[in-house]
């Protein structure tokens, strides 16, 4: 399971009363895109809508909504109808610790208690983005909590795959760095002991034929090759370069190693110059002259993420905001 899904479930399980704060509309330059959201409880937050004064104002408004008298009435009486922003206001100094299990006990119309903010990101609030953000805030009931988890799981299923071949020092560091990114990480090894200590959210595969993982990978995957055996590196890279739908093919090593691979690939592996041009080696570039595993991993992770985004941009559908499925066009 992806770390985001795990963290979301844990937050919803322990937070008590929760409000969903979502970017419902944007104009001009803004910190986050339409559909970005965060969850706010009395004592914690999950996610971000961009930080700064915009986020502080949204958190304050969400906590006013969370601990308003009407929110308490909704939990007890199951009223019908919609509460406007004006009637949902409450002091932000309300109780900081919400009752346990509030989201689970809230009636299905609980999300209809809502507030909206329309904020210009200018000097008035100490931000200079220059755009404008509309924020929608709603209480999270059990049904909405399930929708949030389902949406996170669906997003996880669509994450691009990053295959790291080799669990040595750089492989371990790269797996840890990539585990923080919105990708599905798979570490492939021929040695069982090299898979010890991988992050919990990273998938591992022990196989005597790692090149077969390349053939079965989904389209748009990234392949990073850094095994303990140069000959094995060459086999995996050659297989990866045959995948025209790969977003990234990278191999750790020096200029000499790349030159040796080039000669072998063109003469013995039926490779072409066009295929070879897609190979990134050394991974992470050569602008930073630092061979420590953590530094290589950080540079490579940024390089891989850039390639994945570039590969997906042309065909990616716009992010569907949560509000689009639940709000009429004339909602106030």
Tens digits of per-residue pLDDT, 205-248?
A: 999 999 999 999 999 999 999 999 999 999 999 999 999 999 99
Cβ proximity of 132 and 26 under 8 Å: yes
State the pTM of this model: 0.75
Cβ proximity of 289 and 280 under 8 Å: no
- Host H or E run for residue 283: none
Query: For the chain, how many helices (H) and strands (E)?
Result: 11, 11
- Angle between helix axes 142-157 and 3-14 (nearest 10 degrees) is 170
The dihedrals phi and psi of 96, each to the nearest 5 degrees, come to -80, -20
Cβ proximity of 217 and 243 under 8 Å: yes
| Close Cβ partners of 320 (under 8 Å, ≥ 6 residues apart) | 35
* Confidence at 68, pLDDT banded by 50, 70, 90: confident
The runs of H, that is alpha helices, within the chain are: 3-14, 52-66, 69-77, 102-105, 142-157, 169-178, 211-215, 230-241, 255-268, 273-276, 293-313
Instruction: Using the structure block, give the residue that is written with the tokens 């690939």.
Output: 265
Residue 67 is predicted with a pLDDT of: 87
89-104 pLDDT tens trace: 333 333 333 333 334 3
- Angle between helix axes 169-178 and 293-313 (nearest 10 degrees) is 50
Task: Report the C-alpha gap between 211 and 209 in whole angstroms.
Answer: 5
Mean pLDDT to the nearest integer, 50-66: 90
Mean pLDDT to the nearest integer, 127-139: 84
Tell me yes or no: is domain 159-313 CATH 3.40.50.720: yes
Instruction: Using the structure block, give the residue that is written with the tokens 């996880």.
Output: 156
The dihedrals phi and psi of 26, each to the nearest 5 degrees, come to -140, 150
Task: Report the C-alpha gap between 139 and 145 in whole angstroms.
Answer: 10
Mean pLDDT to the nearest integer, 60-83: 64
Residue 5 is predicted with a pLDDT of: 87
Long-range CB contact pairs, 101-104, < 8 A, 24+: 101/16, 102/16, 102/17, 102/18, 102/75, 103/12, 103/15, 103/16, 103/17, 103/18, 103/140, 103/141, 103/142, 103/145, 104/142, 104/145
Task: Report the C-alpha gap between 176 and 197 in whole angstroms.
Answer: 10
Domain ranges of the chain: 3-155, 159-313
Residue 207's Cβ-side half-sphere holds a number of Cα atoms within 13 Å equal to: 15
Bridge pairing between strands 45-47 and 37-40: antiparallel
């Amino acid at each position: 399971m992806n770390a985001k899904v795990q963290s979301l479930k844990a937050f919803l399980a322990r937070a008590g009363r929760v409000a969903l704060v979502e970017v419902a509309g944007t104009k001009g330059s803004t910190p986050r895109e339409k559909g970005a959201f965060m969850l706010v409880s009395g004592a914690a937050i999950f996610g971000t809508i961009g930080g700064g004064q915009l986020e502080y104002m949204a958190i304050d408004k969400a906590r006013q909504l969370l601990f308003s008298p009407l929110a308490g009435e909704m939990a007890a009486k199951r009223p019908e109808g919609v509460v406007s922003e004006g009637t949902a206001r409450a002091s932000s100094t309300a109780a900081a610790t919400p009752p346990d299990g509030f989201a689970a006990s809230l009636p299905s119309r609980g999300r209809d208690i809502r507030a909206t903010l329309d904020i210009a990101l200018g000097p008035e609030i100490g931000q200079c983005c220059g755009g404008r953000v509309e924020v929608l805030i709603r209480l999270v009931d059990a049904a909405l909590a399930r929708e949030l988890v389902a949406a996170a799981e669906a997003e996880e299923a669509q994450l691009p795959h990053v295959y790291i071949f080799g669990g040595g020092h750089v492989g371990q560091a790269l797996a840890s760095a990539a585990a923080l990114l919105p990708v599905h990480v798979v570490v492939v090894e021929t040695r069982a002991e090299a898979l010890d200590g991988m992050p919990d959210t990273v998938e591992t595969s022990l196989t005597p034929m790692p090149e077969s993982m390349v053939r079965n990978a989904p389209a748009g995957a990234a392949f990073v090759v850094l095994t303990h055996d140069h000959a094995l590196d060459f086999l995996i890279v050659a297989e990866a370069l045959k995948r025209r739908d790969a977003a990234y093919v990278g191999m750790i090593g020096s200029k000499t190693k790349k030159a040796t691979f080039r000669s072998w690939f063109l003469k013995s592996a039926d490779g072409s110059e066009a295929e070879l041009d897609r190979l990134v080696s050394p991974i992470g570039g050569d602008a930073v002259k630092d061979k420590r595993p953590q530094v290589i991993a950080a540079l490579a992770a940024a390089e891989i993420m850039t390639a994945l985004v570039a590969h997906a941009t042309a065909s990616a559908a716009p992010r569907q905001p949560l509000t689009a499925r639940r709000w009429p066009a004339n909602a106030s």
